[in-house]
Chains A and B, each alone.
Chain A
Amino acid sequence: MIRPHRSHPLWYAFLLHRLSGLGLALFLPLHFYMLALALTDPVRLDGFLRFTEMPLVKLAEFGLVFLLAVHLFGGLRLMALEILPWNNRQKTLAGGAVAAAFFVAGCFFLKAI
């Protein structure tokens, strides 16, 4: 059964960021290994680059570039939430939370003394 928090759109944003990161991390060793062939075995690398001309491989490359771009933009969203200054509404809500807490604790304190 799908739990309620998983129907939230931002849960999908989290999942997309995680899965794209996982996919990129798994792809990187292969990417690096093939590029290093430019030094050790350029003929084999050229053969592989010809293989990448196939339409299906092009489609897979589209997928990889999409993963990279979506991880970049998802990461920017995450860091904007964490680092950028809050807007006035968010500041008001945060200030309101402190004020409400002060009021509740003040009620308790006045009854306690």
Chain B
Amino acid sequence: MLNLRLYMAQRLSALVMVPLTIGHILVMIYAVQDGLTVSEILARTSGSISWFLFYGTFVLAVSVHAAIGLRVIGFEWAGIRGRMLDLISWLVFAGLLWLGGRAVYAVTVAGGGL
């Protein structure tokens, strides 16, 4: 169900996300003060190549990580096997990458002149 490549991809994506998650938690604690608005979010992230790289990497890593994590849960708890397990893993990966990529594009690239 997990070969060496998937196991390593799971651990490497986790290691990449350790500093990103700590950074994201700190940003959340900072940004949530006095509530959130779209203009406030965009003022911070729009046109910023640093935030694009930060959250772009985060989305890629979490897509890999969640797809493999759900694969393990699907195998162990839902009894899914074989091609169906592969199909679901790829769909989760592609879906998260697509949705996450759209979100990062919306708050960093779009309208920001990147």
Q: Which residues in A have some Cβ–Cβ distance to B below 8 Å?
A: 18, 21-22, 24-25, 28-29, 31-33, 35-40, 42, 45-46, 49-50, 52-53, 61, 65, 68-69, 72, 75-76, 79, 82-83
Contacts and interface: CB of A to CB of B under 8 A. Distances in A.
State the majority secondary structure of interface residues on B: helix
A14 to B, nearest CB: 11
A21 B35 contact: no
Given A28-B62, A53-B35, A68-B25, A79 B103 contact: no
Contacts, number: 81
State the majority secondary structure of interface residues on A: helix
B80 to A, nearest CB: 14
A38 B38 contact: yes
B95 A36 contact: no
Interface of B: 11, 14-15, 17-18, 21-22, 24-25, 28, 32, 35-38, 41-42, 59, 62, 66, 69-70, 73, 92, 95-96, 99-100, 102-103, 105-107, 110-111
